[in-house]
Amino acid sequence: MRVRLSLALAGWLLLAGAAGAQTAPAWSGTLGVTTDHVRRGTVRGKDDVELTGSLEHLRGSFYAGAAANTAALGDTDYEVDLYVGWQPQWAGWDWDFNAKRVSYFGGSDDSDHWEFYALATRSIGPVSGTFLVGGSPDYEGAA
């Protein structure tokens, strides 16, 4: 499964390169330290200092990246997220379509899952609105 995911990510980057050739590629990243990492109402940090980091590549309206943190889930040691997305503009709206694979390593917890979302944002004068639809077919043990 992890090999197929890596091949899919590599293919997506090639596609993004062809589609976004008119815009110079850009890289960005983050590094951080936190305690009591909270995600969706669940504390994952176990009162320890947690390390976080990410690296993202943007080419045209396509992006792909990876994020990792040591905030454990169950008996796992760390989490790695791989994601791809597309941010077109259409009909006066800014769109963001994203697919992410969340994987946990270093333990017996089997909570790896996919997440998907679509986001639409529009500003009219000083007012802006955002609509988000997202979900996961198998988030943390869902049937």
DSSP designation for 41: T
Give this prediction's pTM: 0.74
Helical (H) or strand (E) element with 2:
helix 2-19
Average pLDDT, the chain: 80
Reported residue count of the chain is 143
C-beta pairs of 40-47 under 8 Å, 24+ apart in sequence: 42/73, 44/71, 44/72, 44/73, 45/71, 45/72, 46/72
Amino acid, res. 75:
D
C-beta pairs of 116-122 under 8 Å, 24+ apart in sequence: 119/95, 120/93, 120/94, 120/95, 120/96, 121/93, 121/94, 121/95, 121/96, 122/92, 122/93, 122/94
92-113 pLDDT tens trace: 999 999 999 999 888 777 788 8
Alpha carbons 138 and 116: distance in angstroms, whole number: 11
- 124 has a pLDDT exceeding 80: yes
pLDDT at res. 70:
85
Least confidently predicted of 12-21, 49-58, 114-123, 124-133? 12-21
10-38 pLDDT tens trace: 555 555 455 544 567 899 999 998 876 66
Report whether 127 contacts 94 (CB < 8 A): no
Beta-bridge partner residues of 67 = 54, 81
